[in-house]
Structure 1
Amino acid sequence: MTRVLLAEDDPAISEPLARALRREGYDVEVRADGREALESARSDAPDLVVLDLGLPTMDGLEVCRRLRGEGHTVPVIVLTARADEVDTVVGLDAGADDYVTKPFRLAELLARARALLRRGIPDAPASGQADIRVDTESRRVFLHDEEIQLTAKEYELIRVLARHQGKVVSREQLMRDVWETAWYGSTKTLDMHISVLRKKLGDDAMQPRYITTIRGVGFRFDPAGE
């Protein structure tokens, strides 16, 4: 499950926002203190941080600066009540990926969160460590340094799986992230795309190396084929 760290000290904002994120299917951890948020980001490896600037003990800008200074690449959306352009520049210079001014519409923030989660997928390990490499900048996938020709949906599938490599990704999450729909019925379309993707990777559904089916749940991806 995609993990979101929400750092906001105002319950009037954090509580409805956390509920909305959970309805989207995210696992949400809420922190109302800057130092606690920093420690959670360090130890829990969230997939996205939603970070208020006006946190007690340590403000959001400092939290963001420290994360980036330590090499953390997690996408960060900054929340602030200040709409001044200078504040926006300062927030982005600190390493934030996006900037939302209060008051904001929940639908807008959720859309930005989905966009960052789709975009912020790290490449798989280099070819010396893995058989498969996903290059998110060029939207290309390589098997043993040879490019594989994929359709748009096949690329999106492997991109989402690669983001969560080594972890189980549910069928529902794949349908939501790749087809952008809440899906609770048949997943034959997903199964068909997984089957074709496996063939292009030279994978075997009976003895999988790269994409393993977790019966009744979803799929797990291992770019090293271990």
Structure 2
Amino acid sequence: MRVLLAEDEKSLSRALVALLEKNNYSVDVVYDGEEALSYLEAGNYDVLVLDIMMPKMDGLTVLRRLREKGNSVPVLMLTAKSEVSDKVLGLDMGANDYLTKPFSTQELMARIRAVTRSQTGQTTSRLSFGNIVLDQTTFELSSPVGSFRLANKEYQVMELLMRNPRQLIPTERFLERIWGYDSEVELNVVWVYISYLRKKLSALEASIQIKVTRNAGYSLEELP
């Protein structure tokens, strides 16, 4: 999943980026409200973690403009304020959830998982297709015969496939969602991770496969 983090406190931003990347998220970070809106217009994000108190444009204004443009990306608001009125205002303006600083890292990750699940209609943290299950909390890919704990990019590639079964996903989309728009990574790196995942699916005796469509992309399909 791809996260946009809008937080002007640099030390906290660094800590949150490290936490999110450790939990297999791709993260872009911005430090003011105007930059947040710019990134949201150009990027495709699964969730926005948005601080209220930011320079140039505060988080509530960012949220209002975002919703006015019809952008429904899940938004988790962060603030040092604990007043009920601020929470109510943020939720009424379209925030999906609210977290007051200081917060525990476990609670932050749980709330991010919750707002992204509600957006996609998921009821649990487990994605399944065929006899394969991908656990979004433990990062394990499993079947009745065993399991593998996936590394960061492997997990993100598999998650994108599992969220979009039977859909052709262009190679460029993998690069944009996992490595980022500004990445200089070449297209063939996607094939490297697809190859890793194919071997794991084979070892798990999967009833599904990653299908390659030449010069187009990849899709997750049931075995014939």
Mark yes or no: TM-score above 0.5.
yes
Q: How many angstroms apart in 2 are the aligned matches of 1:113 and 1:19? A: 15
CA deviation map 1:106-156 (0-9, x unaligned): 1110121122223323xxxxxxxxxxxxxx3899xxxxxxxxxx89959x9
Partner of 1:161: 164
CA deviation map 1:12-52 (0-9, x unaligned): 21110011101112111111110001110111121111000
CA deviation map 1:134-191 (0-9, x unaligned): xx3899xxxxxxxxxx89959x987612699544498xx9xxxxxxxxx9x9444866
* Deviation, structure 1 residue 62: 0.7
Amino acid at match of 1:92: L
CA deviation map 1:38-83 (0-9, x unaligned): 1101111211110000011110011011111101111110001111
Partner of 2:10: 11
Query: Is the contact between residue 33 and residue 59 of structure 2 (CA under 8 Å) also seen in structure 1?
Result: yes
- Structure 1 residues 161 and 15, CA gap change in structure 2 (3 angstroms): same
Question: Larger relative contact order (C-alpha < 8 A, sep ≥ 6)?
Answer: 2
- Structure 1 residues 46 and 12, CA gap change in structure 2 (3 angstroms): same
Greater than 3 Å deviation, 4+ residue runs: 136-139, 150-154, 156-159, 162-170, 185-191, 219-222
Q: Is 1:21 aligned with 2:20?
A: yes
Q: TM-score, normalised by structure 2?
A: 0.62
Amino acid at match of 1:115: A
- Structure 1 residues 50 and 138, CA gap change in structure 2 (3 angstroms): closer
Corresponding pairs, count: 169
Partner of 2:208: 194
Partner of 1:102: 101
- Structure 1 residues 45 and 192, CA gap change in structure 2 (3 angstroms): same
Identical amino acids, percent of aligned pairs = 38
Amino acid at match of 2:44: A
Q: Which runs of 5+ in 1 are unaligned?
A: 122-135, 140-149, 174-182, 196-210
Q: Which runs of 5+ in 2 are unaligned?
A: 125-129, 137-158, 179-189
